[in-house]
Amino acid sequence: MNEVNLKVPAEADNTNPRLEVTLGDITVEQVDVIVNAANSSLLGGGGVDGAIHRAAGPELLECCRTLDGCNTGDAKITPGFQLAAEWVIHTVGPIWHGGTRGEPQLLESCYRSSLARADEVGAESVAFPAISTGVYGYPVQPATAIAIGTVQSAPTRVEIVRFVCFNRETLDAYRTFLG
Ligand code: AR6
């Protein structure tokens, strides 16, 4: 009998994650990974970054000190310490300058890089905040389109992606884009 080669490329295992949208505080999400919208120092800040550091406890900052920062568009992973989530992925979104300084590509890269880190630890569920749309000033509508479009098309084994919105405007944008 002829041998049949049943091997398929690794990427054929990937199906798109199921997308969920919720209103609330990402620090209490019961998922494998929560994503932090950090700055390039990775040493904490305001917004969701401050909330995650407060909820995870001081060990998170100690751990982040060893990471040597992070470039815009890139992502690094740490344990979640006192969080319900096992891991925190710290990504650095672009500061909005009007959209002509590569902001869309950099924001897309945040979502892709974060999913790549999640795959490296075998995470099945990931919660994202609306990266760059707070202090960094990225308009909510185009940022939402990039978040959803990137997660829908990224090669990943993550099964559930939950977008955690902190205000109504963001929630409405996600609901509109997801129909
Ligand atoms: N859970 C979920 N979303 C939140 C939470 C929370 N607990 N808190 C705020 N948000 P921002 P950025 C939302 O400013 O724009 C920090 O100082 C918020 O309403 O946290 O990427 C960093 O250190 C908004 O929708 O992040 C950097 O310096 C979204 O999270 C800088 O801010 C992102 O807002 C990064 O700015």
Task: Kindly provide the residue ranges of all beta strands, DSSP E only, lying in 80-179, ordered along the sequence.
Answer: 87-92, 125-128, 160-165
pTM (two decimals): 0.94
Distance 61 CA to ligand 1 centre (A): 17
Whether ligand 1 lies within 6 angstroms of the CB of 94 is answered as no
Q: Which residues, at least 6 apart from 120, have a Cβ–Cβ distance to it below 8 Å?
A: 77
Tens of pLDDT, residues 22-75: 999 999 999 999 999 999 999 999 999 999 999 999 999 999 999 999 999 999
- Rounded to the nearest integer, the mean pLDDT of the chain is 93
